[in-house]
Amino acid sequence: MSDSKNFLLGVFDDEDVLLKAVGKIRGAGVKIHEVYSPFPVHGLDEELGYKRSRLPIAAFMFGALGTTLALVMQIWMLGVDWPMIIGGKNFIALPDFVPVTFELTVLLAAFGMVGTFLVASDLKPWKDPKMLDLRITDDKHVMAIDLGKNAGLQEAQINALLKDSGAVEVNNKNVEE
Amino acid sequence: MQVTSSVRKPLITGGKTVHDVTEDICRQVEAKPSKLWGMAFGISVVTLLIGFVAVATTLWEGIGMWGLNKTVGWAWDITNFVWWVGIGHAGTLISAILLLFRQKWRMSINRAAEAMTIFAVICAAQFPILHMGRPWLGAYWALPLPNTFGSLWVNFNSPLLWDVFAISTYFSVSLVFWFLGLVPDFATIRDRATGIRKKIYGALSLGWDGAAKTWSRYESVSLILAGLATPLVLSVHTIVSFDFATSVIPGWHTTIFPPYFVAGAIFSGFAMVLTLMLVTRAVFKLQDYITIEHIEMMNIVIIVTGSIVGIAYITEFFIAWYSGVPAEQYAFYNRMQGPYWWAYWSMMTCNVISPQLFWFKKIRTSIAATFILSIIVNIGMWFERFVIIVTSLHRDFLPSSWAMFYPTIYDVGVYVFTFGLFFTAFFLFAKFFPVINMAEVKSIIKSSSEKTA
């Protein structure tokens, strides 16, 4: 309860200024907690040094699971459990199983990946996002710097750095954990 | 870093700022419903209720209430099913395929088009569900569920079963794609709201905070979903066409069906998007977001797909003649000259001739002309399905079983019901959800609005 974090928030209103600022501030040795934006800013993740998301791998794995399940289901049901002659075809008529296999592959890949994304990003209906600034979802980009993790630097220094790199305002905010 | 071309016109006009986008799109979500909206919504609900009488009668009395007979065992219901599914193709096409092609003009229309897709697929689903007669048992016929007959499993060799999987996958993946796109916009509404509205939009926004890490993941999820949805869109109408193409009925038994149906679906879907967007644009004053440029782009897609459909019609004819199969030749001769000639010629006029008018720039940039032609295209596409289905069936292999199909009031009523359902859902969406994807539009404000020097 008593744990609280002290953030310095640099507010930017232009994505290109923001991108340059991120490089500059990280270059000065300041650790950026996170940058919040109203829309995706291309190249921001690279500037912040984030690794490429591994979600495509998750999608592939879930897709492969879907393919396997679909084939096993169809082959077992029509080939093993209750074989029936339909239109004189083989019991296991693989070309006929293609559409359902394809659909289940897509279904599991899509749901599996989105599910993984929601869990990885901790998105859920009952979550209170504790917005640092309400204008983040409107038109401002906010760079949050955790002062506790930048103990080597003075607040005034970081403040000046933010202003120099184009922040339109700099605010200090305490967040209860 | 953005490269702007002097050739392209700005996608968003009126010198909008990022904040203006928030204001313009949130306005109708936050304001009290307008009188016009109330009237439109009221008419939709009344239509839904009137149509429901036909649905209830069908369920209570059985599908004998429909105009089907021994010869024409598939008619009005499957025509409507294919028609609605076709309409439901534009949304995911716009958001998935146009995303992969980096067509930024999609951003103003994809939200509403996806909503339309979802509602159209719900309407389409009413027909196969109702034609089961006893839909409460339908899950056993349509899904591989364990049962007390063995278990006797569903037939995976049947295109009708493939349809169950295709349509339900398409519906659920489109729904996820649409909802995921809405999440950041719900967060915008949440941060402007108070009280109960804040709670509801807060839950819908899943606690979205706009962190760069989340955006980065979000972008990669969107891209992969688009990659998955693209073959999915193409597969759905392909499989719908298999319902016919894998049979041995003259007029259905053709290999051209899958691409021909997919083109027709995109054609009718874009027409329906135009019909709805032109109205939404005027009612919610979104002229700066959905510009003449957008309308023209969609009309170009309509010319392309409409021409593909026209070529498919001609190819079908040529192949029927060239094959030398008398039954096939008769089926096509009968379409043109038989008792359903009027349906055939309505289809030809509406689908092949009228969209060619869009070659004229004056016509494809005229709102009134686009609106009228978009409705004509959808009338034409309804007739296309009716022609394919009924004219092929009504001349059976035995001339003694030749018959005509006459719809009953219940056939019409169920169709009216789906219209009520569609518009009720669409008006609710238009009032309570942001009709334009704010986050996406904001991302192109700097690079493609008039303000950029």
List, for residues B390-413, the tens digit of each pLDDT value. Answer: 999 999 889 999 999 999 999 999
Find out whether A32 and A66 touch, Cβ atoms under 8 Å.
no
Distance (Å, whole) CA B181 – CA B339: 48
Q: What pLDDT does residue B372 have?
A: 93
Query: Within chain A, how many helices (H) and strands (E) appear?
Result: 5, 4
Q: Please report whether residue A129 resides in a domain.
A: no
Asked if A76 and A41 sit in the same domain, the reply is no
Whether A107 and B204 lie within 8 Å, measured CB to CB: no
In chain B, which among 140-169 make CB contacts under 8 A with chain A?
144, 150-157, 159, 161-162, 165-166, 169
Q: Give the pLDDT of residue A128.
A: 85
- What sign does the dihedral B10-B373-B387-B320 (CA atoms) show? negative
Interface residue of B102, B209, B223, B246 to substitute, partner A, most A CBs within 10 Å: B209
Instruction: Please tell me the predicted confidence (pLDDT) of residue A20.
Output: 86
Whether A63 is covered by a domain: the verdict is yes
As a whole number, the mean pLDDT across chain B is 89
Joined together, the tokens standing for residue B426 give: 């669409």
Measure the CA–CA gap between A141 and A133, rounded to whole angstroms. Answer: 9
* B207 in contact with A, Cβ within 8 Å: yes
| Contact list, B180 vs chain A (CB under 8 Å) | 114
Note whether B336 and B344 are within 8 A (CB).
Answer: yes
Whether residues A80 and A99 fall in one domain: yes
> Mean pLDDT lowest for which of A68-72, B10-14, B79-83?
B10-14
Q: Does B4 score more than 70 pLDDT?
A: no
**Domain CATH number, residue B34:** 1.20.1630.10
Model ipTM over 0.85: yes
CB-CB neighbors (< 8 A) of A35 in chain B: 211-212
Measured CA to CA, the distance from residue B174 to residue B237 in angstroms comes to 15
Nearest CA-CA partner of B124 in B167, B77, B81: B81
Residue B240 lies in a domain: yes
What residues of chain B lie within 8 A of the CB of A110, using their CB? 172-173, 176-177, 225, 228-229
Interchain contact A158–B (C-beta under 8 A): no
For residue A92, give its domain range: 55-120
CA–CA distance, B186 with B71 (Å, rounded to integer): 52
Task: Convert the pLDDT of each residue in B280-338 to its tens digit.
Answer: 888 888 888 888 888 998 899 999 999 999 999 999 999 999 999 999 999 999 999 99
User: Which of the two residues, B254 and A177, has the higher pLDDT score?
Assistant: B254
Query: DSSP of B254-317, one letter per residue?
Result: -TTHHHHHHHHHHHHHHHHHHHHHHHHHHHTT-TTTS-HHHHHHHHHHHHHHHHHHHHHHHHHH
Does residue A131 fall inside a structural domain?
A: no
- Domain count for chain B: 1
Note whether B246 contacts A: Cβ–Cβ < 8 A. no
Residue ranges of B 184-203 with Cβ closer than 8 A to chain A: 184, 187-188, 190-192, 202-203
Q: What's the pLDDT score for residue B5? A: 54
Number of domains composing chain A: 2
Cβ neighbours for A145, distance < 8 A, ≥ 6 positions apart: A7, A8, A9, A10, A25, A30, A31, A32, A33, A158, A162
> Measured between beta carbons, which residues in chain A are less than 8 angstroms from residue B231?
102, 106
At residue B2, the pLDDT reads: 45
Q: Quick check: A138 and B187 in contact, CB under 8 A?
A: no
Residue B10 lies in a domain: no
In a domain, A165, yes or no: no
Q: Are residues A76 and A104 in the same domain?
A: yes
Residue A23 is predicted with a pLDDT of 86
Q: Helix, strand or coil for residue A153?
A: coil
pLDDT confidence of residue B339? 93
Contact B206 A125 (CB under 8 A): yes
User: In a mutagenesis test of the B interface, which of A75, A78, A121 is the best target, namely the one with the most B β-carbons within 10 Å?
Assistant: A121
Window 99-138 of A, Cβ < 8 Å to B: 99-100, 102-104, 106-107, 109-111, 113-114, 117-118, 120-131, 134, 136-138
* pLDDT band at residue B424 under the 50/70/90 scheme: very high
C-alpha to C-alpha distance for B415 and B21, rounded to whole angstroms: 38
Low-confidence ranges of chain A (pLDDT < 70): 1-2, 177
Q: For residue B157, what are the contacts with CB-CB under 8 A and spacing of at least 6? A: A78, A86, A87, A89, A93, A96
Q: Which residue, among B21, B160, B165, B175, would best test binding to A if mutated, counting the most A CBs under 10 Å from its CB?
A: B165
In a domain, A78, yes or no: yes
- What's the pLDDT tens digit per position in B335-349? 999 999 999 999 999
User: Nearest to residue B282, comparing CAs of B19, B15, B450, B34?
Assistant: B34
Please tell me which residue of chain B has the smallest CA distance to A135. B191
Residue A31: per-residue pLDDT: 83
Instruction: Identify the domain containing residue B135 by its residue range.
Output: 18-448
Has residue B12 been placed in a domain?
no
pLDDT tens digit sequence for B89-148? 888 888 888 888 888 888 888 888 899 999 999 999 999 999 998 999 888 888 999 988
Same-domain status, A61 and A10: no
Given an 8 Å threshold on Cβ–Cβ distance, is B207 in contact with A37? no
Supply the pLDDT for residue A155. 80
Indicate if A64 and A44 belong to the same structural domain.
no
Residues contacting residue B298 through CB under 8 Å, at least 6 positions apart = B109, B270, B273, B274
- Does any domain span residue B62? yes
Q: What is the mean pLDDT of residues B174-202?
A: 90
Above 80 in pLDDT, residue B14?
no
Q: Closest Cα partner for A19 from A51, A45, A38, A50?
A: A45
Same domain flag for A75 and A113: yes
